[in-house]
Structure 1
Amino acid sequence: MEIKVIDQDFSICKPENLSQIKFEDDYIFIGKTDEELSLVCSTESVPDNTLSRDDGWKAFRIQGVLDFSLIGILSRITTLLADNKIGVFAISTYNTDYILTKKENFEDALRVLSDNGYIIKK
């Protein structure tokens, strides 16, 4: 399976509302529930109306369209990383999964995946 590195820095934050989110950016992930609004975006695009933020994240995507019938892809990757003491923040879209790790763990995460048969594309 192929892993594609996304070459930018990310932040995970809690904006006050959606009014200042840069929807034209290549990568934005929004999660909204009855209790909170969360945003993952490039660090340079964190909205000014952010209430809380955590900077210093890097990301990669599992390449290809992942059919809903496929089982265990995300679980296998997160287990490999957890076994190596690497925390993750996972995001899924309709087609694929994205994994974020803190910058200081990112190269170790890629090494672990490469050592376990994943093809890393930078």
Structure 2
Amino acid sequence: MQYLIVFCVGGLLCAIAQVLIDKFKLTPARILVIYVTAGVFLTLIGVYKPLVEFAGAGATVPLTGFGYTLAKGAAKGVQDHGFWGIFSGGVTGSAAGIAAAVVFGFVMALIFKPKAKK
């Protein structure tokens, strides 16, 4: 049952992004910014954590989950280092995900031949 919940919540977030692309002609870059910012904002007002507890990876894997991770890291950074933790906490909290994206992107670039779009 948990797999179905994860799939539905993640799918709903993706469907909302697709509607934004189709109806409002937003670019993927703008949707990325909107989703990350929404994740931070929803974490700030206390709405996203219950969604993460309910949906697990369905809420943490999409871009809103990255915003959630940044906000959690910034909050922890402030607790540990005061005001300056705002700047370092988000990156520290999401460092594993960022490093994985860089490493896997590099490996895929080695395996496949990247081509410029024509």
Shared fold by TM > 0.5? Answer: no
Larger-gyration structure (1/2): 2
Q: Which has the higher contact order (CA 8 A, sep 6+)?
A: 1
Higher helix share: 2
Q: Given the two structures, how large is their TM-score scaled by the length of structure 2?
A: 0.25
